Amino acid sequence: MAAKDNRQVVPEHVAIIMDGNGRWATRRGLARLRGHQAGATRVREIVRACPDQGVRYLTLFAFSTENWRRARSEVAGLMALLRRYLKSEAAELITSGVRVRFIGDRRPLNPGLVRLMTDLESRTTQNDRLHLTVALNYGARDEITQAAVALAEAIRRGEIAPDAVTATDLEGFLYTRAIPDPDLVIRTSGEKRVSNFLLWQSAYSEYEFTKVLWPDFSANHFADILLNYGARERRFGAVLP
């Protein structure tokens, strides 16, 4: 966390479970995909808000390893939306200093989408104003399992002694090895679940659950939550020696 000014402590890294797109659409008598489209507009708004708020890392849960179980049309629509988003936002992300990373298993993804992802990653490696990580086909248990396998292979190659293994060694094989742990995890839509998101990395994170559905989640809601986080951190600071 960092002090934005004398009054507010700002989380350095905010991770968000963007939930409620489907309900937002259904309540309006619209197709679920319209909710995801409205959600993508909020992604743009929150990404833009982060540097102003002093947030340096933003991680968004866009598609989980469990989301493949949804109707084929919804999955296809979401993937097409992600492709459109990456195409339409690339120029702004590059020029506004956003470093983009993707975490998750890319193997089952459409090769055209993967090309857009790797291209955006490589074109933003020098950026440092905001570090945006998009979790796409991400599942924390899968992540930890593949890290354990990679660690076992390193042990087999004799690079690490089995009796000297530390948590830091395992962390070095997680998708998130280059970014700090989240200080704050937000979930929208009123559900109070973690849903296999950043299980290892959020061991010490604060959680904030809001009833607001993701397509309604504005920069003002975001600012309120950050203010609340700052207040909690200030109290915490006051009781420490």
Residues carrying an active site annotation? 19, 67
Short-list 55, 18, 1, 52, CA closest to 135: 18
- Binding-site member from 40, 184, 212, 226 for ligand FPP (CB under 6 A): 40
For the bound state, the minimum distance from the C-beta of residue 89 to ligand FPP, rounded and expressed in Å, comes to 8
E strand segments, the chain? 2-3, 9-10, 13-17, 57-64, 98-103, 130-138, 184-187, 206-209
In degrees rounded to 5, what are phi and psi of residue 169? -60, -45
Stretch that binds ligand FPP, among 15-23, 147-155, 172-180, 218-226 (CB under 6 A): 15-23
80 touching ligand FPP, by CB under 6 A: no
For the bound state, the minimum distance from the C-beta of residue 99 to ligand FPP, rounded and expressed in Å, comes to 15
Residue 181 or 216 with smaller CB distance to ligand FPP: 216
- Binding-site member from 13, 34, 36, 187 for ligand FPP (CB under 6 A): 36
20 touching ligand FPP, by CB under 6 A: yes
120 touching ligand FPP, by CB under 6 A: no
CA distance readout (Å), 22 to 70, 152, 161: 11, 40, 48
- CA atoms in the 13 A half-sphere facing the CB of 181: 13
Binding site for ligand FPP (CB under 6 A): 18-23, 36, 39-40, 43, 60, 62, 67, 81-82, 85, 134, 189, 214
